[in-house]
Amino acid sequence: MYQKEFMMEAIELSKKCLETGKGGPFGAVVVKEGKIVGRGSNHVTLDNDPTAHAEVMAIRDACRNLKTFQLTGCEIYTSCEPCPMCLGAIYWARPERIYFAANQNDAADAGFDDSFIYDEIAIEPQDRKIPSTQENRAEAVNVFQLWKNCASKVDY
């Protein structure tokens, strides 16, 4: 259920990021049962980490606080529509719902244009701007086979 105060907290985190000079204008919160269980803001430049987007930071914080690797029963509120990386991270975390404020066009207008990534995903790996080459598939598939047969694995 959408709660305006959670979205406003995400937007406030994005604003604080600018005011403190810690990163770009992005903030996110993870909510479970009406309580914020994780917060994140953009720390890409602060941490020298291109994966330190607000949504990823909020997911990490929530998972630490909840002591789990999945956000079942949670909602994510983010100040901007998630980029492809964050959307992937959100899907892996498996929350119930995503709420966002600004959209990808608003982000592009501010200099955060992710359209090239969406375009690249549809291109064959070897033809992308950063070419990919598959090597040693058989050896890697053998490890997956070991995983499939591992009695102590934790599915996720």
Active centre residues (catalytic): 55
Helix H or strand E encompassing 25:
none
Rounded Cα distance between 73 and 93, Å, is 11
Amino acid at 64: R
**Distance from the first to the final alpha carbon of the chain:** 26
**What count of Cα atoms within 13 Å lies in the side-chain half-sphere of residue 28?**
31
Q: Residue 120, exposed/middle/buried by CB under 10 A (0-12, 13-18, 19+)?
A: middle
Q: Which residue carries 């499939």 as its tokens?
A: 148
